[in-house]
Structure 1
Amino acid sequence: MNYAQLLLPDFSLILFGYLLCRYTPLNRSIWQPVESLVYYLLFPVLLFQSIVKSPIDVGAASSLMAAGLLSGVAGIALAYSLPHWPWLGSHLERRDHAASAQVAFRFNSFIGLAIAERLAGAQGLLMIAVLIGVCVPLFNVAAVWPMARHGGQGFVRELLRNPLIIATASGLVANLLGFRIPGWMEPTVSRISASSLALGLMAAGAGMQFGLLGRSRLLTVSVLSIRHLIQPLIAWGMAHWFQLDAVQTTVLLAFSALPTASTCYVLAARMGYNGPYVAGLVTLSTVLGVASLPFALGFLR
């Protein structure tokens, strides 16, 4: 599989948004409302649709879910612990860490869905949907917590108002209750979902300022190393520990090596943090995914 070709459309959209914002009249005043539209409407619709699309057999997928959750918890713990590491912690700016810690464990579900279907067909698509369904709520809670705490904002209030958490939690409940989107609504919902990917990536590109990455090189290297090197190694260990079958192992390794979520930037910007810095991390993570996916699916598998 040509992983570079698979990631190219997403990176191209980020670059396109950057060029539009910098060199055309479509400047930041245009893209800020777009960010809000993606964050509060378009992307929640995509999350809900992805989760309810395929029935989840909790019993058959329990080992995969446990491996995915434990791998994610390990990544979250590593990301949170960075300020407490000897020598490294004293060189990290705490607000930048609060905003960028999420980059180390969140994932691009759009790319994940595409890869899983190509790797294992309908079975792979169902497995990645299970991982998305159980991991997104946890990862979003973990992403919001340090920013809400550091910014002096009410943590519970931020969670209850977070549209991504609302969408994933309601999608899980709907799936377990057997709800499916009616056929006559699917085309409209699918078009809304598709637009969230394009607009979200372009909005991330529009907010990029690559120069800001230079002031936090240690933080940049740390969170991206967790995302693209340590997370696949942890997932490899979990696959052996839980004795996953070949298809489950393949899906888990792909899941662990995905680029970070494009909405990391949107979340950081909406909560008043350094959005352009996080957008740069998202871009670098997308590029590094070209290496981490072959590493996980080729070398580790």
Structure 2
Amino acid sequence: MSAFLAALVPVILIVALGRFLGWRKVLAEEGWRGIERLAYVVLFPALIIRALANAPFEEAPWKLPVILLSAQCLLGAFGLLARAWPDITRPAVGSIIQSNVRWNTFVALSIGSALFGDEGLALVSIAAAAMIPAANILSVTALTAHAERESIPKRNPVIELTRNPLIIACFIGGLMAAFDIEIPELLDLSIELLGQGTIALGLLAAGAGMNVGALGRSGLKTLTWSLVRLLALPAVAIGGALALGLTGTPFAIAVICASVPTATSSYILARQLGGDAPLAANLIAMQTVLSIITMPVIWFACLRAGFF
């Protein structure tokens, strides 16, 4: 438990620093978006390629992505029940489904690598290879299907995945691992240097982009669906891990990836595709704050149960 808190607290501090820097307007909003874009297009892919190419696996951990992908799809389907919420709008349903399926990869990378080193980093990258495509497909489908504006641009999520730098990086790193291709030493050192800035910049940008004021506008709907996302996704993942016999570090990584809050990019996509953008902002802020409590509780419960 102390090891997990030691990994979680620096994440909280860096996100809080990002929020402070954003509040103080050390950088303009466009500057933070530029940093976020740089991490997404260059730094994060470099980290994934190196992590997968150098992954210390004796056998492919296929159970991990299967479990997380299944949990993600189930939570997405569960979000359809939001239609029964009194006076809820269609765009709000789309935003809730998106919140249920997206995850903050930078938080998972930070905690996974802090606890389990290179193996943890590689396992989170493998989880990302499965969950990121699913999150994009499910989110775009849900938001466009529930949008009320006819002018919403039509996007093909499958085609967009072929242009996604993270998916391309997962493909390259996976091929290198499968064919035992070593990265040349100088290139490996260069990629390592790029990767070292990824997590910190990603967390700072996430903090700067978080709308703390949204907490004041949050109501019962935001609280309820935030708790559904933070508790149900790890519960389903844990059940799947037990059913498939997942053990050790992969089990722990499954819990970490399922327990992190939704991604801060949810707000931008909701705004672009006709979702309820204010609700998306509320869900991001609420889950980020609540996860400080729920993540250690879930981790401690798993330790007490002897799951890993």
TM-score (norm 1): 0.77
Does residue 69 (structure 1) correspond to residue 69 (structure 2)? The answer is: yes
Does residue 240 (structure 1) correspond to residue 237 (structure 2)? The answer is: no
SS in 2 for 1:91: coil
Paired residue for 1:11?
12
Paired residue for 2:211?
209
Contact 2:270 2:280 survives alignment (8 Å): yes
Give the deviation of 1:233 after TM superposition. 1.5
1:231-285 per-residue CA deviation (whole Å, 9 max, x = no partner) reads 1211222122223335543333333223334554566678797778656644543
1:194-219 per-residue CA deviation (whole Å, 9 max, x = no partner) reads 32322233223333333334555355
SS in 2 for 1:26: coil
Opposite residue 291 of structure 2, the aligned amino acid is G
1:1-301 correspondence runs (5 A)? 1-2=1-2, 3-24=4-25, 26-54=27-55, 61-79=61-79, 81-84=80-83, 86-88=84-86, 90-92=87-89, 94=91, 97-99=93-95, 101-116=97-112, 127-147=123-143, 150=147, 151-155=152-156, 156-215=158-217, 217-264=219-266, 278=280, 281-300=283-302, 301=305
Contact 2:18 2:205 survives alignment (8 Å): yes
Give the deviation of 1:229 after TM superposition. 0.7
Contact 1:205 1:279 survives alignment (8 Å): no
How far, CA to CA, are the matches of 1:219 and 1:253 in structure 2? Answer: 25
How far, CA to CA, are the matches of 2:278 and 2:35 in structure 1? Answer: 15
1:130-162 per-residue CA deviation (whole Å, 9 max, x = no partner) reads 433333332333334334554332224433433
Contact 1:50 1:129 survives alignment (8 Å): yes
Give the deviation of 1:51 after TM superposition. 3.0
Opposite residue 16 of structure 2, the aligned amino acid is L
How far, CA to CA, are the matches of 1:62 and 1:297 in structure 2? Answer: 22
Gaps of 5+ in 1: none
Question: Aligned in 2, Cα 1:58/1:224: closer, same or farther, shift over 3 Å?
Answer: farther
SS in 1 for 2:197: helix
Question: Aligned in 2, Cα 1:255/1:235: closer, same or farther, shift over 3 Å?
Answer: same
1:166-193 per-residue CA deviation (whole Å, 9 max, x = no partner) reads 3334433443333343321233222322
Gaps of 5+ in 2: none
How far, CA to CA, are the matches of 2:122 and 2:208 in structure 1? Answer: 33
How far, CA to CA, are the matches of 2:49 and 2:271 in structure 1? Answer: 23
Q: How many aligned positions are there? A: 296
Contact 2:215 2:286 survives alignment (8 Å): no
Question: Aligned in 2, Cα 1:262/1:179: closer, same or farther, shift over 3 Å?
Answer: farther
Contact 2:82 2:96 survives alignment (8 Å): no
How far, CA to CA, are the matches of 2:116 and 2:37 in structure 1? Answer: 35
Question: Aligned in 2, Cα 1:166/1:213: closer, same or farther, shift over 3 Å?
Answer: farther
Question: Aligned in 2, Cα 1:271/1:185: closer, same or farther, shift over 3 Å?
Answer: farther
How far, CA to CA, are the matches of 1:115 and 1:29 in structure 2? Answer: 28
| C-alpha RMSD of the superposition | 3.5
Contact 2:18 2:206 survives alignment (8 Å): yes
